[in-house]
């Protein structure tokens, strides 16, 4: 009897009961499919290189950025190697998303998703004005709409809608609204306008509006990241900290911002009737290894690997900066951003963390649930 790859031919040549069982087994086999699309919005923690294409000082396109990237060259990521979106793409079993402004983002690459993030931006449009030409979050959402039009021209509106609805979305905002706006100088317009609690409440309300716009554009699985422990980054230790202690005002802002973000997301999900949004408590995640770095294999959570001045926290990382020989034992790569190894710990917590860190569920739970639909 000749072998056949057709299930109908196979059923015709087997006893009826065996044929039925065989067809059921064939139907139960997992169907080959591409990894779900992945979309990224936000600031320098998740920018994969959009700012390389802009006239701005908020760039990471010169050495030693990228020193531990597979190519050992700067890519525009604010990291010594991979950043958080890269590591989430690995969890999805997908290639990294390309920057939206990259000329390589075309054809089938569009179906992988896109990274719309831009270093320096915040929830508020006046955040990061010192960086001049950056892609503010309102423009990132406009770019997402334009992206959908491009994909729709390729695969049609119905398939595009399904691709977007089933995609994973990451949005990371908030830190710059404090560090590069409210606390930018001893006296700022926002400081004169708001107390820290008032400003935090305002940023949360504006963040909520952004999330609703993202939902209106079709996003349905959205990881929403708050700020890290802002007062403990090397830049703040150098400029505001006393005797190596975390700066009190930015820490107060983080301590207010992250719980309010979780509460806001709880309210949004209740209003919409489903757990579309997932709060990523970045402050608690990073506090673990900042407060006890040696428990995670780091030697320091105060000194940046690349920089100058106290704690290597002054200015920016550049080719003339001090550079540590072993990035894996530092929590911070530069005055503001985690090392690749710290990012790996963060993403592992996003993937498997308890509801202390991921509310109402972690990424592995999301992927397991969505694989059944």
Residues carrying an active site annotation = 44, 334, 337
Describe the crossing of helices 196-216 and 137-155 by its angle, rounded to 10 degrees: 10
CA nearest to 164, candidates 106, 88, 212, 216: 216
Dihedrals phi, psi of 32, to nearest 5 degrees: -65, 130
Evaluate whether 363 touches 350 at the Cβ level (below 8 Å).
yes
Other Cβ atoms less than 10 A from the Cβ of 357: the count is: 19
187-191 LR contacts (CB < 8 Å, sep 24+): 189/126, 190/126
Q: What is the DSSP string of 273-330?
A: TS--EEEE-HHHHHHHHHH-GGGGT-SBSSS-SEEBSGGG-BS---TTSEE-S-GGGB
CA distance 106 to 294: 44
């Amino acid at each position: 009897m000749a072998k056949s790859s057709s299930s109908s031919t196979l059923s015709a040549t087997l006893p009826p009961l065996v044929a039925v069982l065989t067809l059921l087994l064939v139907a139960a086999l997992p169907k080959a499919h591409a990894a779900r699309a992945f979309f990224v919005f936000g600031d320098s923690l998740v920018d994969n290189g959009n700012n390389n294409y802009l006239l701005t000082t908020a760039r990471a396109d010169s050495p030693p950025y990228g020193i531990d990237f597979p190519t050992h060259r700067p890519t525009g990521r604010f990291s010594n190697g991979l950043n958080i979106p890269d590591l989430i793409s690995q969890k999805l079993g997908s290639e990294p998303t390309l920057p939206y402004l990259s000329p390589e983002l075309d054809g089938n690459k569009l179906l992988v998703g896109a990274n719309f993030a831009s270093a320096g931006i915040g929830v508020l449009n006046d955040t990061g004005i010192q960086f001049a030409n950056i892609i503010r979050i309102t423009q990132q959402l406009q770019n997402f709409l334009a992206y959908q039009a491009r994909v729709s021209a390729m695969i049609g509106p119905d398939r595009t809608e399904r691709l977007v609805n089933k995609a994973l979305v990451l949005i990371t905002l908030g830190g710059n609204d404090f560090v590069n706006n409210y606390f930018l100088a001893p006296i700022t317009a926002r400081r004169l306008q708001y107390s820290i609690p008032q400003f935090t409440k305002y940023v949360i309300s504006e963040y909520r509006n952004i999330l609703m716009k993202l939902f209106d554009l079709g996003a349905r699985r959205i990881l929403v990241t708050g700020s890290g422990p802002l007062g403990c980054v090397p830049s703040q230790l150098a400029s505001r900290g006393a005797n190596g202690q975390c700066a009190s005002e930015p820490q107060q802002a983080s301590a207010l911002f992250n719980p309010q973000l979780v509460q806001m997301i709880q309210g949004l999900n209740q209003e919409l009737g489903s757990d579309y949004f997932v709060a990523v408590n970045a402050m608690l995640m990073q506090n673990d290894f900042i407060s006890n770095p040696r428990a995670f294999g780091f030697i320091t959570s105060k000194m940046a690997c690349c920089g100058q001045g106290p704690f290597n926290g002054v200015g920016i990382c550049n080719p003339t900066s001090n550079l540590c020989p072993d990035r894996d034992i530092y929590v911070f790569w530069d005055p503001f951003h985690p090392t690749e190894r710290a990012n790996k710990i963060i993403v592992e917590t996003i993937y498997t963390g308890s509801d202390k860190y991921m509310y109402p569920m972690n990424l592995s739970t999301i992927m397991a649930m969505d694989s059944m639909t």
